[in-house]
Homo-oligomer: A and B are copies of this chain.
């Protein structure tokens, strides 16, 4: 007999991308940054390891918030640190939605939002995107209006496209909050600067950021929310007092203080992205122009699963993704390959393998 909440018993649980623990893989499946973090991060962590780990961390992450404040030109009160932006998304879900509320999110998109809604026991609706990844506001207007919380990754995954500000503002629910999940924002050609928080709808917007992608720190689990101080104060009540440890706070503080390092790596990734896009097209793939550290590639043969498996047999991991209930697609299904931008050498290995496979 189980005493779990029935919703939880019914769920399969979220399945993250494969994380092989053995070596030798070309890992292009979970959008990690192929370059190491700033040397200042390693220095800060080495010092922190020698520090007073027997004491609790600063529950407010004061040093980090000051550093982020300087980097983002925002007051520290606008910033809430979290144990990865995953934790921030969980805190947002729990803070804004109860049993009678509804969550919405674009589709195809980051499928975690659906899991977060299920875990919270909240109704959820997909906002079906058009074949060109744009919004059909006529069709989704009512769902937007009825939602308490809308999650939108901008740029989107798996497509890598980014939506204009006007579209995002049209997604703010009348009586609720819009969360702009900017996990990949630093890879855009012209990264956001949280401009929408200053719009008339700014009080209904929360921006989330992560250190897992552009700052090369997926291993330390650190992200943060940016929002009006009243919103941050409410979210702070929901978080565990000591949600961020001394080590990740030290790492994130050092990382955000080295903007040059981050920008240099994102520039390299953008250059590799352009090259990969061109090469994939020459192999017959359709590739959505990407503003992220991955590309979404589909092939007229539709043999994406077989391509994924053939790559896997060569120890090259990409993400095979398949989305059902797509009314405009044949078989109502859209599938394809989401390929993380690795180093140039990794992308060379991928392209050599793909030339044999396709």
A interface vs B, CB < 8 Å?
A: 2-5, 7-9, 11-14, 16, 19, 21, 27, 30, 32-37, 41-42, 45-46, 48-59, 62, 83-84, 86-87, 90, 94-99, 119, 121, 148, 175-177, 204, 212, 216-221, 230, 234, 236-238, 240-248, 251
Beyond A16-B242, A51-B219, A96-B4, whether A58 also contacts B21 by CB under 8 A is yes
Can you report 15 residue pairs joining A to B where beta carbons are below 8 Å apart? A2-B230, A2-B234, A3-B96, A3-B148, A3-B175, A16-B56, A37-B53, A41-B53, A46-B49, A49-B49, A55-B219, A57-B221, A83-B87, A98-B121, A119-B238
A220 to B112, CA, bound (A): 26
Beyond A3-B96, A96-B3, A175-B3, whether A245 also contacts B219 by CB under 8 A is yes
Beyond A13-B236, A96-B4, whether A53 also contacts B219 by CB under 8 A is yes
Would B240 and A87 count as touching, CB distance under 8 A?
yes
Beyond A220-B246, A234-B4, whether A36 also contacts B58 by CB under 8 A is no
A245 to B234, CA, bound (A): 26
Residues of B within 8 A of A52 (CB): 36, 219
A9 to B14, CA, bound (A): 30
Residues of B within 8 A of A3 (CB): 96, 148, 175-177, 204
Residues of B within 8 A of A41 (CB): 53
Residues of B within 8 A of A177 (CB): 3
Chain B residue with Cβ nearest A56: B218
Would A219 and B56 count as touching, CB distance under 8 A?
yes
Residues of B within 8 A of A8 (CB): 95, 234, 237-238
Residues of B within 8 A of A176 (CB): 3
Q: Which 7 pairs show the lowest CB-CB distances between chains A and B?
A: A13-B237, A45-B49, A219-B246, A53-B219, A54-B216, A221-B245, A16-B241
Would B21 and A237 count as touching, CB distance under 8 A?
no
Beyond A94-B119, A98-B121, A243-B83, whether A34 also contacts B16 by CB under 8 A is no
Residues of B within 8 A of A32 (CB): 54-56
A216 to B248, CA, bound (A): 17
Residues of B within 8 A of A241 (CB): 14, 16, 86
**Which of B11, B36, B84, B248 contacts A240 (CB under 8 A)?**
B84
A37 to B49, CA, bound (A): 10
A238 to B219, CA, bound (A): 20
A65 to B237, CA, bound (A): 31
Would B56 and A212 count as touching, CB distance under 8 A?
yes
A246 to B245, CA, bound (A): 12
* A215 CB to nearest B CB, Å: 9
Residues of B within 8 A of A57 (CB): 218-219, 221
A219 to B236, CA, bound (A): 19
